[in-house]
Structure 1
Amino acid sequence: MFNLELPPFNAETWAILGTLLLLEGLLSADNALVLAVMVRHLKGDLARKALAYGIGGAVVLRILGVLLASYVLEYWWLRAFGAAYLAYLAISHFAKRGHSEDEAAASARGRGFWATVVLLNLTDLAFSVDSILAGVALIPRDMPREQGLTIVVIGGVMGLILMRVAATLFLKLLNRYPALDNVAYALVGWIAVKLGVETLEAAHEIYPWVPTFHMPQPLFWTVMVGIAVIGTYLATRKPAMSEPAAERRAEAIVGEMDATVSDAADGRIDGR
């Protein structure tokens, strides 16, 4: 079920990996930012302990998501669910009136320690599903499943690495240009359209009465590039804060996470 095979590293494969790198970076940074906000109402060691559980949950759920991606690649009805979920994700993002930080703080405020931990891991689950389904949707339908799964695994590994290695960079970008979040979710929305079209094609092969369409790969990638270029231009016209302020805020969040992981590793977070 989980056999892997290296895909041909042609222009399309590199384009997929580049898109995953961008999406994983922005979504992982958004995840880190939301986790940090959600524990603010807890005091002292409780906040750090809850954050440790949240970081651990993000890693475990990302690994499970990569393993489950094999089933999504194999069964068309799971791809249909994935397309619907990604579409819902993009639409709900743009329909929201408040910022995700404000919503995260409001949802966690007043909750006890274990209730916060549960909410943190539900948030991790949502971000893991987002990124894994986006990876699955980018795989061409005619690519062998083993090669497609390999790309999804590479994307999942990049997400885990970016949660720490490039977290400061992407958090800095999101702090300085919050509208970059919109670019990421606009890309997710277009990816949902692609996955939906391919799902209809797969369903049509089994049930001929299902209407079917075809999206040429050049069209898909042209729109992807257009969203990325135009969206980034619009998002970076008016910075929300200065570069030094954005960097200080990003470093503070990453520093807190590093301290939490270190304390969890040597037992100090539990008071020992």
Structure 2
Amino acid sequence: MFMFGLEMPPITPEFWAILGTLILLEGLLSADNALVLAVMVRHLKGEMQRKALAYGIGGAVVLRILGVLLASFILEYWWLRAFGALYLAWLAISHFIKKTHTADEAEASAKGRGFWPTVVLLNLTDLAFSVDSILAGVALIPRGMPREQGLTIVVMGGIVGLILMRVAATVFLKVLNKYPAFDDVAYALVGWIAVKLGIETLEAAHEVFPAVPTFHMPTVMFWGVMAAIAVIGSYLATRRPAMTDAQAAARAEAIVHHMDETVVDAADGRIDGR
């Protein structure tokens, strides 16, 4: 990893806490991404539906790689972190004030569009999910950590996200299908992460412009609130299942099977209907 300007950070409890949080968020957000991509192509017919989904999956991979490159700049410049904090805060707030679920909203926006407009919309959706997860990874990096070490963790999170989009997609989709409120838990965590990034941005700005007010959030406070959100949120989310285990599993497996078929078609040249 050294040849790419990366450096493995010290293996500490905080490292495992950051990586564990990234895996949880990447899993939920990747499953949400897979679900959204699947419903956005429903209005297309036959092979056009499969072809559009193939472009969407390919876009998810490319944009995740570009997102990791963007992360290197965000870690280096404090004013970019300010935009990241504002975006994550907006993301969390908008999630809780909107009235429709992400998948329902995406299906409504894609319905009636032609093939190429749908492909463009799929990739814009991929971009949003990539930015969400990459910024969350950046925000979790302690401000004092060397840039090379922080970027290593973000890269690890990005790789985990790509893997989870297929390997663990069924598990996370099943959880989201049965307990839709876990989506709220994920975005509550994102909102608190935005607060952390915002406070760290003020600290960095204060060093350049002393007139800027500054605050400091103790590490134990940040992780304490993160744990409280995860535990309390999980308890509340599991109190009201939306469907049975069998229904949730069947729906998740159907989505993943559809995506698997698309990947196979793209690999053997049949995605264009030949």
TM-score computed with the length of structure 2 as normaliser: 0.98
Q: How far has the Cα of 1:100 moved from its partner?
A: 1.3
* Candidates 216, 226, 229, aligned match of 1:227: 229
Alignment of 1:112-151 (within 5 A): 112-151=114-153
Partner Cα separation in structure 1 for residue 206 and residue 41 of structure 2: 47
* Partner residue, 1:18: 20
* Partner residue, 2:193: 191
Confirm or deny: 8 A CA contact 1:27 1:127 kept in the other structure: yes
Partner Cα separation in structure 2 for residue 23 and residue 98 of structure 1: 21
Partner Cα separation in structure 2 for residue 103 and residue 129 of structure 1: 19
Partner Cα separation in structure 2 for residue 89 and residue 209 of structure 1: 29
Which residue type is aligned with residue 54 of structure 1?
G
Which residue type is aligned with residue 11 of structure 2?
F
* Partner residue, 1:87: 89
* Partner residue, 2:78: 76
Deviations 1:227-255 (Å, cap 9, x if unpaired)? 00000000000100000000000000000
Unaligned runs of 5+ in 2: none
Identical-residue share of aligned pairs (%): 81
Q: How far has the Cα of 1:225 moved from its partner?
A: 0.1
Determine whether 1:168 maps to 2:170: yes
Determine whether 1:60 maps to 2:69: no
Which residue type is aligned with residue 214 of structure 2?
T
Q: How far has the Cα of 1:64 moved from its partner?
A: 0.7
Which residue type is aligned with residue 222 of structure 1?
G
Q: How far has the Cα of 1:51 moved from its partner?
A: 0.2
Confirm or deny: 8 A CA contact 1:172 1:249 kept in the other structure: yes
Partner Cα separation in structure 2 for residue 102 and residue 216 of structure 1: 39
Indicate the SS of the match to 2:5: coil
Q: How far has the Cα of 1:2 moved from its partner?
A: 5.1
Partner Cα separation in structure 2 for residue 133 and residue 101 of structure 1: 22
Q: How far has the Cα of 1:102 moved from its partner?
A: 1.3
Partner Cα separation in structure 1 for residue 196 and residue 183 of structure 2: 20
Confirm or deny: 8 A CA contact 1:2 1:70 kept in the other structure: no
CA RMSD of aligned residues (A): 0.8
* Partner residue, 1:246: 248
Deviations 1:85-119 (Å, cap 9, x if unpaired)? 00000000000111112111110000000000000
Partner Cα separation in structure 1 for residue 81 and residue 246 of structure 2: 43
* Candidates 31, 34, 37, aligned match of 2:33: 31
Q: How far has the Cα of 1:271 moved from its partner?
A: 1.9
Partner Cα separation in structure 2 for residue 188 and residue 247 of structure 1: 27
Q: How far has the Cα of 1:67 moved from its partner?
A: 1.2
Confirm or deny: 8 A CA contact 1:80 1:196 kept in the other structure: yes
Partner Cα separation in structure 1 for residue 172 and residue 100 of structure 2: 21
Deviation >2 Å, runs of 4+: none
Partner Cα separation in structure 2 for residue 4 and residue 98 of structure 1: 41
Count matched residues. 272
Which residue type is aligned with residue 192 of structure 1?
A
Deviations 1:132-151 (Å, cap 9, x if unpaired)? 00000000000111100000
* Partner residue, 1:106: 108
Indicate the SS of the match to 1:165: coil
Partner Cα separation in structure 1 for residue 61 and residue 22 of structure 2: 17
Q: How far has the Cα of 1:7 moved from its partner?
A: 0.3
Which residue type is aligned with residue 46 of structure 2?
G
Which residue type is aligned with residue 244 of structure 2?
S
* Partner residue, 1:263: 265
* Partner residue, 2:217: 215
